Amino acid sequence: MKDIVATPRSPKAIGAYSRAVKANGFVFVSGQLPIDPASGLLVKGDVAEPTRIVLENLRAILEGASSSLARLVKTTVYLRDVNDFGVVNQIYGSMFSSAPPARAPSK
């Protein structure tokens, strides 16, 4: 059995997929874009604000699934420019102050 996770605090799916699915005690979350949930618009600018929006959307989805960032096991971070790593890592680290999930950086 699977349950589709939806919350008004995160952007709606823009294709034929679910934001997240709960199944057998796990929550599987789709990849997130920096979309403002209120406006539905892509957030642009330097890497800091889009990073923050993506992580806030992730938090909202997990909370909508009765979970939290503290229970997150694994993430993958895609960077367009490896020079943005420091800024992204600082913001990411502020969201996971203790026992952060495993993470795979990718370019």
pLDDT digits (tens, 9 = 90+) for 10-20: 998 888 999 99
Mean pLDDT of the region 55-72: 96
pLDDT confidence of residue 97: 77
Predicted structure pTM score:
0.91
Q: Using an 8 Å Cβ cutoff, are 26 and 6 in contact? A: no
User: From the centroid of its chain, how far is CA 70?
Assistant: 13
Q: Using an 8 Å Cβ cutoff, are 85 and 105 in contact? A: yes
Q: What's the CATH number for 2-106? A: 3.30.1330.40
Cα–Cα distance between 51 and 45 in angstroms, integer? Answer: 10
Has residue 67 got a pLDDT over 70?
A: yes
Residues 6+ apart with CB under 8 A from 92: 51, 55, 77, 100, 103
Spans of all domains in the chain: 2-106
Q: Using an 8 Å Cβ cutoff, are 14 and 41 in contact? A: no
